[in-house]
Amino acid sequence: MANPRCIQALTQHLFKSNLHSKPPPFLHHLRTPSQVPNFPPKPLHSHHIFSTPNFISSLTNFTTYRHFSSDRHHNSDESEEDDDDDDVDDDETVTNPVSSVVEREYSLEERESEAAAIGYKVIGQLQRSDRVFKAYEPVFAVIQIGAHQFKVSNGDCIHTEKLKLCEVNDKIILNKVLMLGSKTQTMIGRPVLPEAAVHAVVEEHALDAKVIIFKKKRRKNYRRTKGHRQELTKLRITDIQGIEKPEMPTPAKKVEKAAVAA
């Protein structure tokens, strides 16, 4: 095994010989760093670099090291960095579908056909003079809006998926009535009652409570957290038509007994 001090001296000799066009004669002998004279530095030229190929090869011999233990760590670190980069790329590619969707402009016929497919029809705006809200009546109906069914009565409030073709304070008619019922009779549709209708008023468009979606793959450094708030429409049921409504019994008045004079 070579002495490190000798290797250091040899590298200094080779470096100084690269700085001079004519290497001095002391390079043929191995000397210590204290015996090497200090030459003034000269500017490097292209012929100086290419005139000493042995110097470049000697440097490559000294600088080629291989550590098997460190390579393993470097490879694992690089693989983890690649996984992190992939995760970042996945996060960057995810876009919000709500913001990317452009609102489509519907014509009058398209709006009516889309609303009929969902199960409602827009009549118009609610006016101050309209007296649509009535007292409770002992009648119920089962209606379908989109893919959901609701059992409603006069004065009930329901939340459905957002009805995009109607605005707040619109009066609508729910056409898909599956069943009507009261104390005296029950009417079941096959599947819909054609002469029945449920009137309602759009009160507001709102967002439901946030739902957290968390995905994880163990040992894969994969975690995704997303939130979702469903868009809803609040409807107030005002009237149910298509069935005979029984009369509400009036409360009996208490007969005051006349006080008997003693």
pLDDT in tens, 107-120: 888 989 999 999 99
Residue 122 CA to residue 111 CA, distance in Å, equals 9
Cβ neighbours for 232, distance < 8 A, ≥ 6 positions apart: 159, 160, 161, 162, 205, 206, 207, 208
Residue 134 forms part of a structural domain: yes
Residue 68 forms part of a structural domain: no
Both 236 and 120 in one domain: the answer is yes
Residue 232 forms part of a structural domain: yes
Residue 26 forms part of a structural domain: yes
Domain count, the chain: 2
Residue 219 forms part of a structural domain: yes
- Number of Cβ within 10 Å of residue 52's Cβ equals 15
State percent of the chain over pLDDT 90.
45
pTM metric for this prediction: 0.55
Using the predicted structure, report yes or no on whether residue 154 has a pLDDT greater than 60.
yes
Residue 12 CA to residue 23 CA, distance in Å, equals 12
Bigger pLDDT: 223 vs 70: 223
Which of 4-8, 10-14, 17-21, 112-116 has the weakest average pLDDT?
17-21
Residue 249 forms part of a structural domain: no
Confidence of residue 70 (pLDDT cuts 50, 70, 90): very low
Residue 82 forms part of a structural domain: no
Both 55 and 179 in one domain: the answer is no
Both 228 and 168 in one domain: the answer is yes
Question: At CA 151, angle to CA 146 and CA 154, rounded to 5?
Answer: 110
Both 206 and 120 in one domain: the answer is yes
Both 48 and 145 in one domain: the answer is no
Both 115 and 234 in one domain: the answer is yes
| pLDDT of 41 | 58
Both 42 and 156 in one domain: the answer is no
Using the predicted structure, report yes or no on whether residue 94 has a pLDDT greater than 70.
no
Bigger pLDDT: 259 vs 106: 106
Ranked by mean pLDDT, the top range of 43-52, 119-128, 207-216 is 207-216
Both 51 and 113 in one domain: the answer is no
Both 168 and 48 in one domain: the answer is no
Both 136 and 43 in one domain: the answer is no
Both 136 and 211 in one domain: the answer is yes
Both 113 and 182 in one domain: the answer is yes
For 72-97, what is the mean pLDDT? 52
Residue 137 CA to residue 131 CA, distance in Å, equals 16
Q: 8: domain range?
A: 4-63
Confidence of residue 81 (pLDDT cuts 50, 70, 90): low
